[in-house]
Amino acid sequence: MKLNGSQIIVECLVEQGVDTIFGYPGGAVLNIYDELYKNQDRIRHILTSHEQGASHAADGYARSTGKVGVCLATSGPGATNLVTGIATAYMDSVPVVAITGNVTNALLGKDSFQEVDIAGITMPITKHNYIVKDVNKLADTIREAFEIARSGRPGPVLIDIPKDVTAAITEYEPKKIDFTKAAKQIADIEEEKIKEVAELIMSAKKPFIYAGGGIIKSDSSKELNEFANLLDIPTSTSLMGIGAFDQSNKLSTGLIGMHGTVASNKCVVECDLLIALGVRFSDRVLSNHKHFAENAKIIHVDIDQAEIDKNIKDDVSLVMDLKDFFNRIKKYLTPKKNPIWLALVDSWKNIFAENQVSSSLKPRYFMEAIQEATKGDCYITTEVGQHQLWAAQYFTYKEPRRLITSGGLGTMGFGLGAAIGTQVSHPNSYVFNIAGDGSFRMNMNELLTCSKYNLPVCVVIANNGVLGMVRQWQTAFYEKRYSQTILDSVLNYEYLAKAFGVDYYEAKTRDEYKKAITSVVKNRKPAIINAIVEIDEKVLPMVAPGKPIDDIMLK
Ligand SMILES: Cc1ncc(C[n+]2csc(CCOP(=O)(O)OP(=O)(O)O)c2C)c(N)n1
């Protein structure tokens, strides 16, 4: 059948199972928007306040569902506004397809109005990108882009489409997409190698698991839990891996790294075998790579060859899909108990660092109250700063894809867009975006998106009046010279909530906070809770950058 470029784009999105896209219109994408108008019953378009919000929403959609998230923007500033979102998705291996319009083929390269080389700009922050100059190549390019985004180690792909291509007509043939194909890239690993790894694991006296986002990406969280339970292995996760292992399991040691638990970081030093699964040994975990797991053999399993020996040298590595790994190693494993090792690990769990500044409303309570009011059945997104780590530390995550946070790029302004993407893909759920007052003002314009679509999203602002995380470093390492980190602004959150059409709550005490949370959960409306926190609350424990991982600051 003969279709124009815009019709092909819509058909290809439907082929890929896309039900929702996030975007913002403009001149170069007028044809596409016209087609979306005619196809509202097939694809839902969420209009954000800013293209950055759309890119984070596509990311949140992808992280919380495991499907590819899609965002759409016009040429020039529309496209450049997506850049932070694309880089955020790239650093955390999130499958996103970003579609941008560009000026017509005839105007390309002439500094035309709203022309920008977005393919050039996003080259280092995409898994792949395209400029589609010929309508005959459009359908296959879109199909390939989705395949690349979701296969292997997932990541963002950008498709830039000149305006004339969106109007040009060609023959289009529908295609049925086999979604299982991408996941089924079976690695060519010899059985002997799997057996060798199994023997190493079975013979370890003090094994320890460090699990990362790769477990969630490969949907092998169930297998990880079975593996650790069978062999009685204490298990930590990176920030990106939170939820990969049930934190209510007694084998869970929680977060590892700079703000990891004492137990996780002590395990790294004391274990004789570190089993690293779907991780990249980020500097936020390693701190000092020379002193990381010095006494242990390291097994590293990851889908991406580029991660092997990049940040740390392993003893044995397997480049393969994690689900495939668990399925293949299973037959060489027998149940095991490690009572002496686990007793030691448990003793470290009791070394407990409570935030030391007295306040009636503690960060710990932010999360505990949400857990209680929702019985854990909600989604948490975060901005970046102290509140992000409190959200990671003080909620018991039992399953994957419940915490949506920017780990690699650490993008302030990520959380509200991500909350929108998460909420629309889980319409029956409530989403809490845990924010700092600094991060909140970066992209608070997206509150308007929440009220426009009446999304049950609540922004909990941990309002300490400062850029808390930076201030914490200034306190610890810069003799309290608080350069540009005090926010002391006149912002009136109540008026702001009113202007954006969302509910407003203020909480200075635990009681007020609890009431606010109970009420937002009951009302299921977009809301802000302005929760006042002590200015010098800290994120603890902390390992100072470059220090050995067991050199832990507790106050
Ligand atoms: C876009 C962006 N700009 C700057 C930073 C650097 N940064 C990291 S944490 C932080 C402070 C965050 O302050 P706030 O949102 O108030 O959260 P708090 O730490 O107080 O909880 C800053 C400025 C960043 N991560 N992202």
**pLDDT tens-place string over residues 485-499:** 999 888 999 999 999
For the Cβ of 411 lying below 6 angstroms from any atom of ligand 1, the answer is: yes
Query: Residue with the nearest Cα to atom 24 of ligand 1?
Result: 412
Query: Residue with the nearest Cα to atom 10 of ligand 1?
Result: 385
454 CB-side CA count, 13 A: 3
Amino acid present at 419: A
pLDDT of amino acid 178: 83
Of all residues in the chain, the percent with pLDDT exceeding 90 is: 93
- For residue 53, report the phi and psi dihedrals to the nearest 5 degrees: -60, -40
For the Cβ of 287 lying below 6 angstroms from any atom of ligand 1, the answer is: no
Mean pLDDT of 462-480: 97
Residue 95: pLDDT band with limits 50, 70, 90: very high
For the Cβ of 384 lying below 6 angstroms from any atom of ligand 1, the answer is: yes
For the Cβ of 439 lying below 6 angstroms from any atom of ligand 1, the answer is: yes
Number of H helices, E strands in the chain: 24, 22
Most informative mutation of 357, 467, 483 for ligand 1 (most atoms within 8 A of CB): 467
pLDDT of amino acid 356: 46
Q: Catalogue the active-site residues.
A: 51, 113-114, 163, 469
Most informative mutation of 384, 393, 536 for ligand 1 (most atoms within 8 A of CB): 384
DSSP string, 364-420: HHHHHHHHHHHTT-SEEEE-SSHHHHHHHHSS---STTSEE---SS--TT-HHHHHH
Total residues found in the chain within this entry: 555
pLDDT of amino acid 174: 95
- For residue 467, report the phi and psi dihedrals to the nearest 5 degrees: -80, 85
Residue 351: pLDDT band with limits 50, 70, 90: confident
Q: Is the pLDDT assigned to residue 344 strictly greater than 90?
A: yes
pLDDT of amino acid 448: 98
What proportions of the chain, in percent to the nearest 5, are helix, strand and coil?
40, 20, 40
Distance of alpha carbon 20 from the chain centroid: 19
Query: Residue with the nearest Cα to atom 2 of ligand 1?
Result: 412
Amino acid present at 116: V
- Whole-model pTM: value is 0.97
pLDDT single digits (tens) 352-405: 655 545 557 888 899 999 999 999 999 999 999 999 999 999 999 999 999 999
Most informative mutation of 389, 412, 474, 540 for ligand 1 (most atoms within 8 A of CB): 412
pLDDT single digits (tens) 217-264: 999 999 999 999 999 999 999 999 999 999 999 999 999 999 999 999
Question: What dihedral angle (degrees, nearest 10) is formed by the CA atoms of 485, 486, 492, 496?
Answer: 0
